[in-house]
Amino acid sequence: MSARRTAAILAAALVAGAAAGALIVTSDHLDNKLVWSIFGQLVGWSFIGTGLYAQRRRPDSRAGVLMVALGFAWFANAIAASNVPLLYTTGQVTGGLWGGVFLHLVMTFPSGRIRSGRDRAIVIAGYVIFTLANVPALLFATPGDLGCDGCPENLMLVTHDESLVDVAFALQTTLYAGLFLIVLVRLALRWRRTPMLERLQLTPVYASGMITFLAVTIAVSGGGDSVIWPAFVATALLPYAFLGGLLRSHVARLDAELRASRLRLVEAGDTERRRLERNLHDGAQARLVALAMQLGHARRVADSDPDRVPELLDGALGELRTSLAELRELAHGIHPAVLSEKGLDAALYALASRAPLPVTLDSDNDGRLPEAVEVAAYYAVSEALTNVAKYARATRADIAVHRANGTLTVDVSDDGVGGADAERGSGLRGLADRVGALDGTLSVESPPGHGTRLHVEIPVTKAARPE
């Protein structure tokens, strides 16, 4: 969320809170106006403030958006405090909107997204019940029947009938109680199926949410002030329960990603070790065995046929040169010598010169970098150029390496077909793990038909490069 949008929401929250406070303070029929005007507005602002913070910390979750919406819906509840009959009557209906948003948030926590058709039905039922369950009573009730003799005229009143009012209130209580039981069972089953680590983040949210829901249900059933105030306190604590659970889920997700990253690094190390073993066994080791046999044969024939010794030694020298060349090539695959000896720029120039397509290199990097940073940047470019050559069908590629404000940025772009997916390639996942181990980031932009751009940012430590 942009800073401008955040500022606009905060400004709107201040206006909405001030308007709600004014309605409460000037109300002729509301008790405890001072408490409601101060602490009631703090509840709304708490939801909006914690929601904005949650959205910033967890942009992948829509829970923060729902928390902001819940704060504004809470302010709308103050419309029922108006002395104007139209606003008062409207508030009797829209005042329950916050309950629908509240249930939406609880049912979809922590992702903020509806998971199934059953959850969608429960959320829709919540919006309908919390806003419209009061309507039947309004058709037959006077303000006195609603427990407010000094309230403005009820404009929805069709005819006054106390018996129908009792039936309407009983229907409202039944709907609230039924929805409460359905939600309780649904959340209990979900909680039981959730792994232990995730339960830690769900427990405070579900517990505080259901306590609030129960208190509101009892208040609607005629519990009176003795229940209204506990319901208010429980509601005031909700935003912090949601925020705490959301941050816990973030920590749990990061822990899971870290574990997966470590596992991939271990697997990559094992795979590379097996590759090196195979190459050594099939290449250099076989040649060295052959060299040993040739030298042994030369030694055996030295006395009986000395004229053949130079020929055998020449063959052994040829085999030795070939073995050394294979070992150098193998070492080059592990860690390029030019990178260790001459630094990142020289190694990248060497990569660009060997690429099967034209490659430009733009680098303003001065001096040497920490070895781990140079290695990570080198392999990022190497993997990117390999993918360009294999899949991109590009006519050119560009490498840009810049160092500024303590961060090394590496960009590799091409004019190929695009459509690359960083999640599918094991090479890119391995690179992301390598870069992540240095507190860096790796991202891929590859819209179909518009080429691919690999972007890497790596913090450059102040530690001196070991000599």
Q: How far apart are CA 112 and CA 117, in angstroms?
A: 15
What three-state secondary structure class fits 428? helix
CA-closest candidate to residue 412, choices 438, 433, 394, 425: 394
* Pick from 29-33, 143-147, 256-260: least confident: 256-260
* Pick from 24-28, 102-106, 337-341: least confident: 337-341
CA-closest candidate to residue 398, choices 386, 415, 380, 383: 415
Question: Which pLDDT tens digit goes with each residue over 343-401?
Answer: 898 888 888 888 888 999 998 877 788 888 888 898 889 888 888 888 888 999 999 99
Exposure string over 81-114, b if 16+ CB within 10 A, otherwise e = bbeeeebbbbbbbbbbbbbbbbbbbbbbbbebeb
What three-state secondary structure class fits 151? coil
Does domain 341-459 sit in CATH 3.40.50.720? no
Contact 96, 145 (CB under 8 A): no
pLDDT for res 217: 81
pLDDT band per the 50, 70, 90 thresholds, residue 236: confident
Question: Which pLDDT tens digit goes with each residue over 257-300?
Answer: 666 666 565 566 556 666 666 656 555 665 666 667 777 777 77
Structure-token pair, residue 289 = 């065995």
One-letter amino acid at 115 equals: R
Q: Which helix (H) or strand (E) holds 455?
A: strand 453-459
- How much of the chain is helix, strand and coil, in % rounded to 5? 70, 5, 25
CA 50 vs. chain centroid, Å, equals 17
Q: What percent of the chain has pLDDT over 70?
A: 80
Exposure string over 429-443, b if 16+ CB within 10 A, otherwise e = bbbbbbbbebebebe
More confident residue, 171 or 330: 171
Question: Which pLDDT tens digit goes with each residue over 39-89?
Answer: 778 888 988 988 898 888 777 788 889 989 999 999 998 998 999 999 999
Domain boundaries in the chain?
3-258, 273-334, 341-459
Structure-token pair, residue 294 = 């040739």
112: left (phi over 0), alpha (psi -120 to 50) or beta: left
Question: Could you tell me the fold of the domain covering 3-258?
Answer: Rhopdopsin 7-helix transmembrane proteins (1.20.1070)
More confident residue, 87 or 144: 87
Helices (H), 139-224: 162-193, 196-218
C-alpha to C-alpha distances, 187 to 107, 109, 447, nearest whole angstrom: 8, 11, 40
The 8-class DSSP code of residue 359 comes to E
pLDDT for res 97: 92
Contact 330, 315 (CB under 8 A): no
148, pLDDT greater than 50: yes
The 8-class DSSP code of residue 79 comes to G
Q: How far apart are CA 72 and CA 98, in angstroms?
A: 8
Q: 110 preceded by cis ω (within 30°)?
A: yes
More confident residue, 67 or 335: 67
31, pLDDT greater than 80: no
Structure-token pair, residue 398 = 């560009």
Mean pLDDT of the chain: 81
Q: What is this structure's pTM?
A: 0.56
Q: How far apart are CA 157 and CA 172, in angstroms?
A: 17
Contact 392, 445 (CB under 8 A): no
pLDDT band per the 50, 70, 90 thresholds, residue 229: low
Question: Which pLDDT tens digit goes with each residue over 179-215?
Answer: 999 999 999 998 888 877 677 777 878 888 888 888 8
343: left (phi over 0), alpha (psi -120 to 50) or beta: left
pLDDT band per the 50, 70, 90 thresholds, residue 128: very high
Tell me the β-bridge partners of 412: 399, 454
Contact 204, 244 (CB under 8 A): yes
pLDDT for res 464: 41
Q: Which helix (H) or strand (E) holds 287?
A: helix 285-304
CA-closest candidate to residue 248, choices 187, 194, 200: 200
